[in-house]
Amino acid sequence: MVLGACGPVATGTVVSNTPTTSASRTESPSTAPASSGSPLPVPDAKLLTATNCTAGTPPSQPRQLGRYLTIRPALNWTDTSNYQHTETLLLELTAPDAYGFPPTRIVFQGGAVGPVHTIFGPGATAHSIAQQRADSIAQETSPSAVAGPVRDCSVGGEAAAAYGFSNGTISGFYIYSVRSDGLFEAFLFGSGGLGDQAIQDCLAMLGSIEWTF
């Protein structure tokens, strides 16, 4: 099973009870330029896993996240998804600038095009996949990238694993979960760091995820 997107939706939509607005989109960086100052500290994934990667559910309506998931987006985050650039993207949301460290974004995606056991080997788990990605972050992204320890939690009732990272001018978290041989991935990052409210909203959105099969 591959966690694929159903298809594009309108971008620039703000999750709120007010009229929608448009917003420009900057491509989510897979690499980041080297910082001229001190490296950013690596955030500890305990900030997510201490509450089992969940918090109070956002008051928004559930929306489909690909074919197999639903999520309640946090209010006032803007949909900046661009489905033409990746076949695994499910949803990208950008936080309000008031949260600090703009742009702060969260990206949800099917993390692999193919079965987990084929790509990562028989017996692969969310933890083993996260550890593999953390160990190879400098090779897969940029030489300045550093990952923190992998810590376990759950997403949508399934085992999940997360680690913090810093990479040049951005820092944040990667979160992985596996269900029925399909990989789900979330990526929260901010420019120069992450605000507390962004982390809390991330936890709330992760906690609202439900599988539809």
Q: Is 122 within the bounds of a domain?
A: yes
Q: How many domains does the chain have?
A: 1
Q: Is 62 within the bounds of a domain?
A: yes
Structure confidence at residue 88 (pLDDT): 86
Q: Is 145 within the bounds of a domain?
A: yes
Distance (Å) of CA 18 to CA 4, 81, 102, 157, 202: 30, 20, 22, 32, 21
**CA angle (115 as vertex; 157, 112 as ends), nearest 5:** 80
Smallest Cα–Cα separation from 106: which of 11, 40, 42, 201?
201
The pLDDT tens digits along the chain (213 residues) read 334 333 333 446 565 443 333 233 233 344 344 444 678 999 999 999 999 999 999 999 999 998 889 999 999 999 999 877 677 899 999 999 999 999 999 999 986 667 999 999 999 999 999 999 999 999 999 999 999 999 999 999 999 999 999 999 999 999 999 999 999 999 999 999 999 999 999 999 999 999 988
Q: Is 17 within the bounds of a domain?
A: no
Going by the DSSP 8-state scheme, the letter that residue 67 receives in this structure is: T
Structure confidence at residue 196 (pLDDT): 98
Structure confidence at residue 112 (pLDDT): 66
Q: How far apart are CA 78 and CA 9, in angstroms?
A: 12
Range of the domain at 56: 39-158+192-213
Q: Is 166 within the bounds of a domain?
A: no
Structure confidence at residue 85 (pLDDT): 62
Question: 122 CB contacts (<8 Å, ≥6 apart)?
Answer: none
Q: Is 132 within the bounds of a domain?
A: yes
Structure confidence at residue 111 (pLDDT): 66
Structure confidence at residue 106 (pLDDT): 98
Rg, Å, the chain Cα set: 16
Whether omega before 103 lies within 30 degrees of 0, making that bond cis, reads yes
Q: Is 163 within the bounds of a domain?
A: no
Q: Is 22 within the bounds of a domain?
A: no
